[in-house]
A and B are shown apart, each in its own frame.
Chain A
Amino acid sequence: SQTIHQWPATLVQPVGSPLSLECTVEGTSNPNLYWYRQAAGRGLQLLFYSVGIGQISSEVPQNLSASRPQDRQFILSSKKLLLSDSGFYLCAWSVRKVRSGNTIYFGEGSWLTVV
């Protein structure tokens, strides 16, 4: 069966410091990969998605970047964190399909607090 893991689970970082959140998927190949952010008490905002190695689409202008160095690895990064980057970050994956019906499955989430 497929599993998705992301780490670290909790992170407290000072303003201006770098960020690296990692996500890996097991049990599938060629998945679509996603990074979402959820502000406290809010819905989910899509930040990045990837349909293949090195292919990254950004949904919103921001202080963050994403990379996909391997088929099942997705990394969320920042060179200099802002206070507004605080939130709950979720990695997700779906099966690659041509048409719709891409059920998305989420990881456990990573809490980032920028102080």
Chain B
Amino acid sequence: GQQLNQSPQSMFIQEGEDVSMNCTSSSIFNTWLWYKQDPGEGPVLLIALYKAGELTSNGRLTAQFGITRKDSFLNISASIPSDVGIYFCAGQLDDYKLSFGAGTTVTVRA
């Protein structure tokens, strides 16, 4: 699949802070997905984006599908300790497969 560049690779954040991570691709996608993975568990879907320019929220999480269809970002507002984990972006074009970013590891300082 296409290579996705996800950044930052890791981040330490202060509880209560707003944080942002993003994914970029050299190719366009029709779908962008954001997942969170806790240690030893499977990734859990956070937000799905199906339309260029779409902005979608899920509680304290907000994600946007870039207008160029080559990027997406995820914002977490007012971080709390349970936000710790690895966040993955994934893009899909027109087949059954997803291309995943390498992940952003989030650690919260209490």
Contacts and interface: CB of A to CB of B under 8 A. Distances in A.
Interface of A: 32, 42-44, 46, 49, 51, 59, 90, 92, 94, 99-109, 111
Interface residues of B, number: 26
Nearest to A51: B96
A59 B88 CA distance: 20
Interface of B: 1, 30-31, 33, 35, 40-45, 48, 50, 88, 90, 92-98, 100-103
Contact of B42 (A51, A99, A107): A107
18 contacts: A43-B88, A43-B100, A43-B101, A51-B96, A99-B30, A99-B94, A101-B30, A101-B50, A102-B31, A102-B96, A103-B33, A103-B45, A104-B45, A104-B90, A105-B45, A107-B42, A108-B41, A108-B42
A36 B108 CA distance: 28
Given A99-B30, A111-B40, 8 more contacts: A43-B88, A43-B100, A51-B96, A90-B42, A100-B31, A100-B92, A103-B45, A104-B33
Nearest to B98: A104
Contacts of B44: 106
Nearest to A104: B98
Given A100-B92, A111-B40, A49 B45 contact: no
A103 B44 CA distance: 11
Given A42-B102, A44-B100, A46-B1, A103 B42 contact: no
Given A101-B50, A102-B96, A43 B103 contact: yes
Nearest to A49: B96
Nearest to A108: B42
Nearest to B105: A41
Q: Which of A49, A99, A100, A106 has the most CB of B within 10 A?
A: A100
Contacts of A109: 40-42
A59 B71 CA distance: 24
